[in-house]
Amino acid sequence: MTDRPIPGELVRAAIPAGTTEGYMPGFGNDFETEALPGALPRGRNSPQRCAYGLYGEQLSGTAFTAPAHRNERTWCYRIRPSVRHTGRFRRIDLPYWKTAPHIVDDVISLGQYRWDPVPHSSEALTWLTGMRTMTTAGDVNTQTGMASHIYLVTASMTDAYFCSADSELLVVPQQGRLRFCTELGIIDLAPKEIAIIPRGLVYRVELVEGPARGFVCENYGPKFELPGRGPIGANCMANRRDFKTPVAAFEDREVPSTVTVKWCGQFHRCEIGHSPLDVVAWHGNYAPCKYDLGNYCPVGAVLFDHPDPSIFTVLTAPSGLAGTANIDFVLFRERWSVAENTFRPPWYHKNVMSELMGNIYGQYDAKPKGFVPGGMSLHNMMLPHGPDREAFDRATQAELRPEKLDNTMSFMFETRFPQHLTEFAAREAPLQDDYIDCWATLEKRFDGTPEGR
């Protein structure tokens, strides 16, 4: 016999054998976990009566008929069915959280843009009120595209829960620590880690160490998956075993609570009388996870030239057009630079994809100054960009010994859709007006001689 859980107390499944934390390893695995023994039906999903008086419920992350290798769903065994975690919704306004399509008439998105870190305010801001949309792309109504956000969190959500029907969220912390208490378990998240919160999952976000700031990619389209490695083979880049999904955890709390749902860009709220985090056991492959970016094994050039930055893709979300992602999440981390007779930084380029970058810590090799931790930059569809003058001089004049790029971690949200600036990004966030000047002194070096000037 097991002790009965104490009402109101958080009950978490046993820590899996071989691990020291409450997580199960693997990306997209078919997991099973129970916070009370015997809560999970064996060999079936929908018994006539579930153990402990629980309700069985399926959460479908893909269409029922999606191909087997893409089909994702999770069976939950919960204190109340989800329909009891909703009520009559009323529309609320979260004015800084924008959704595509969102094109502001007098804001020009055609340009190379860079921002200093968005400062914290003295106001208490939660995961919902502290979300600041920088760009939107595509159209949430057709489940294409994305939004990029900065979050500024100085307060926990208390008896308040959130669910996005619009999107999967990729969370990239830069400062502070957050705890995501979700229907399927608890994720603690710190800088150098990322989390993926699936579409439709109910959760609250607590501030563990503040203030907290970071980046969010809101993916309106099909889920993030690991990129195919092609000739690289079965290893390196992000390995499946390093992703961690939380064990089941539930709370039996009967207190007035709110649930906010994001649906087609609008926010709606209802009141309920209890915590919706009441899943005692679950099994399936549609679940949140986290990943330590320190485990990312970069692969690169070992003799001359260097590949496209896609070589550093951590996760990719497909768009339906082969090889053309709705979103690639690309990581530029510590690595060795060894290529001979090579211009080693990213080359000058124009790209049909739109590139939004953020700095988690350290110095990015193409921009030694100005692109600082917590800061962002945007190089939109077909806008030329590349190393600034200082990086060009260094790259073309340095003696090319093997060099460790240390203390550096930046990332890119790259999408096939053009990104539109929000009013916040254009007018309130600390935009660097002089960013384009970082290329201004790249003078003509051509003088008709093979050596140039």
Q: Minimum distance from CB of 418 to Fe ion (Å)?
A: 14
Q: Minimum distance from CB of 157 to Fe ion (Å)?
A: 36
Q: Which is nearer to Fe ion, 251 or 355 (CB)?
A: 355
User: Strand order of the sheet with strand 327-337?
Assistant: 112-115, 376-379, 354-362, 403-415, 327-337, 313-317
CA dihedral of 92, 93, 94, 99, whole degrees rounded to 10: 100
Q: Minimum distance from CB of 386 to Fe ion (Å)?
A: 7
Strands 112-115 and 185-189: unpaired
The pair of three-digit structure tokens given for residue 12, joined into one six-digit string? 């978490």
Q: Which is nearer to Fe ion, 203 or 392 (CB)?
A: 392
Contact status, residue 180 vs residue 189, Cβ threshold 8 Å:
yes
First-residue to last-residue Cα distance in the chain? 84
Whole-number Cα distances in Å, 440 to 108, 264, 390: 21, 42, 11
Q: Which is nearer to Fe ion, 252 or 355 (CB)?
A: 355
- Stretch of 37-45, 204-212, 347-355, 357-365 contacting Fe ion, by CB under 5 A: 347-355
Q: What is the DSSP string of 202-253?
A: -EEEEEEEEEEEEEEEEE-SSPPBPPP-GGG-SSSBS-GGGEEEEPPEEE--
Backbone angles phi, psi at 111, to 5 degrees: 170, 160
Q: Minimum distance from CB of 145 to Fe ion (Å)?
A: 19
- Stretch of 95-103, 239-247, 352-360, 365-373 contacting Fe ion, by CB under 5 A: 352-360
- Stretch of 170-178, 190-198, 353-361, 366-374 contacting Fe ion, by CB under 5 A: 353-361
Q: Which is nearer to Fe ion, 82 or 337 (CB)?
A: 337
* Active-site position among 85, 149, 274, 306: 306
Tell me the site size for Fe ion, rule CB under 5 A: 1
355 binds Fe ion (CB under 5 A): yes
> Which residues 368-427 are close enough to bind Fe ion by CB under 5 A?
none
**Residue 306 annotated among the catalytic residues of the structure:** yes
Can you tell me the distance from the alpha carbon of 218 to that of 150, in angstroms, rounded to the nearest whole number? 11
> Which residues 262-281 are close enough to bind Fe ion by CB under 5 A?
none
328 binds Fe ion (CB under 5 A): no
Residues annotated catalytic, as ranges: 306
* Contacts to Fe ion by CB under 5 A: 355
